[in-house]
Amino acid sequence: MRKTARRLAVLCSALFAMIAMTPAQAHAVETRPVPVTASDKYALKSVGAGGLYVSVEVSTTGSGEAMLRARKAAATLEDLGAWEKFTLHTDDKGVSTTLRSEANGNYVTTERGYTGTYQNLLRARGTNAGDWEKLQLEKQTDGTYALKAATNDGYKYVTAEVQDPGNDAGLLRARGDSVGSWQKFQLVYLGEENASDAGGRPAPASPAPAADFRVMSWNVCANHNSACGNYRVEGPSLGSQITDRMGTTTEARQYRAVFLQEMCESQAKTIETWLEAKTGTGWDVRFAPIKYTVDKSSVKAARTCDNAGSAASGWKDRGSYGIGLAVPDANVWYHSYDLPSPQNKTIGTEWVRMEQRTALCAVLPAEALQFCTAHFSAGLDKDDLDGSKRREQAAELQKIVHSYTMPGYRTVYGGDLNSIPPDSASPDTPNDLMTSAYAADKECDEGLSSTRPRDGRATKPLTGRSIKIDYLFGPSAGTVVSCDVTADAGESDHYPIKAHFRF
């Protein structure tokens, strides 16, 4: 985005004296752009340290930089800064989790290579979520959590060193063999700090002005599917593909939203830059992750994208994977919603961990426009085979679009909804998931066929057939000037769908 006021800054607090360590113990800490997501934020509150919150000491220099310490006293959650805030991530579908610091954007690492009293010290220095960054959560009977890390001596519980004097007081180390008060932490939910949703949606302009604009939705397949050309790509490649599909510069300037599915968090700001270069105007790209429930817990962690690069050239973190919503930077409110999703369960003899799906909305109050996108569960035997959860997701999306939205907004919504239209000639089932959406609103391709009005051109090519599972809906009172589905998947496994609306 072009607005300087929206740039995130790292919050600073008092400096602690540098802990002396040998050069062999030192590891450089990379300060990366702080992620801007509509993801859950947490603080760690140490039971053994008398309720002090854990801070990431980004201003400490040397080999103690970004170490974790139970040191922050806070009367209210508003007293917490970026040093005390974390997001939860998983690269193994919730078997373990990784903490990422909101202060420097890095993952928390257990320093297995350190020796002496700082062996297995926790520091926010990881630029990838690897083995040293993995933590197991164990929920205790009192509702607190123990954090368990793999060390060179086996799995150890993270301990707040409350008995250590001076500059060592409260440091977090993985060294406990059992769980006592020093090993207990409260995971304090802080909400979706970057969701800009305080007080709900702002009132739209009244009367709503006339609007003539374009919207595109595209599952870019830049996530875990190695069969897609966008597998492991970074932002510049994706930004180029997206803006190329927006048409001429004149057409691109008519866009008010781009819905993206199966993208990676690190791609968001680069896509934003490409949109601004294409249109000559400011854009924001909002992102919301798809999650997994972490084993032995009741919390959810954002699934990480497969890294970019290779073993030979080096791996590069792409952050979480999920959905994106690109809108002009006149947007002042956006919010993500957890959709009802299949829960982890045993199928046959296998414990199957299920993706927790999400929706994301943003508003342009001055234009009385709202945009919402989602990516529903898939009809797989290890996801939502019978469609029961997709029915709930479709119903929840209708609530988000209509019941949760104050009068006056005109909403365009859609995305990869993983279901065929009610009038589709395809033998795929179920085909009734989008019935309520067609009853309430008008789909981009609706009416294209007189014999099958609630159908449209295929957006998902499959072996031997193609189906429509990507949608763009707008209010029935509006006009769909044009709808375009070009059989050009590019490096994806979906075709983009583009609509020109007039209200």
pLDDT at 162: 93
Q: Is 12 helix (H, G, I), strand (E, B) or coil?
A: coil
pLDDT at 193: 52
Residue 59 near residue 156, CB atoms below 8 Å: no
pLDDT at 227: 93
CA distance 158 to 407: 50
pLDDT at 28: 64
- The stretches in the chain having pLDDT less than 70 are 1-28, 31-38, 192-199
Q: How many CB atoms lie within 10 A of CB 226?
A: 7
Residue type, 310: S
Topology of the domain comprising 23-191: Trefoil (Acidic Fibroblast Growth Factor, subunit A) (2.80.10)
Structure token digits, residue 489: 């998947």
pLDDT at 489: 81
The kind and range of the H/E element at 240 are helix 235-244
- Which residues make Cβ contacts (< 8 Å) with residue 137, sequence separation at least 6? 97, 145, 146, 147, 148, 294, 295, 296, 297, 299
- Helix-strand-coil percent breakdown of the chain, rounded to 5? 15, 35, 50
Q: Partners of 135 in the beta sheet?
A: 97, 149
Which numeric CATH code is attached to 196-502? 3.60.10.10
CA distance 344 to 352: 6
Q: Where are the domains of the chain?
A: 23-191, 196-502
pLDDT one-digit tens code per residue, 354-401: 999 999 999 999 999 999 999 999 999 899 999 999 999 999 999 999
pTM metric for this prediction: 0.91
Residue 368 near residue 333, CB atoms below 8 Å: no
Location of structure tokens 């760690």: 44
Q: Phi and psi for 225 in degrees, rounded to 5?
A: -85, 100
Structure token digits, residue 348: 């046959």
State the greatest distance between any 2 C-alpha atoms of the chain, in Å, as a whole number: 79
pLDDT at 191: 82
pLDDT at 401: 96
pLDDT at 196: 58
CA distance 124 to 30: 9
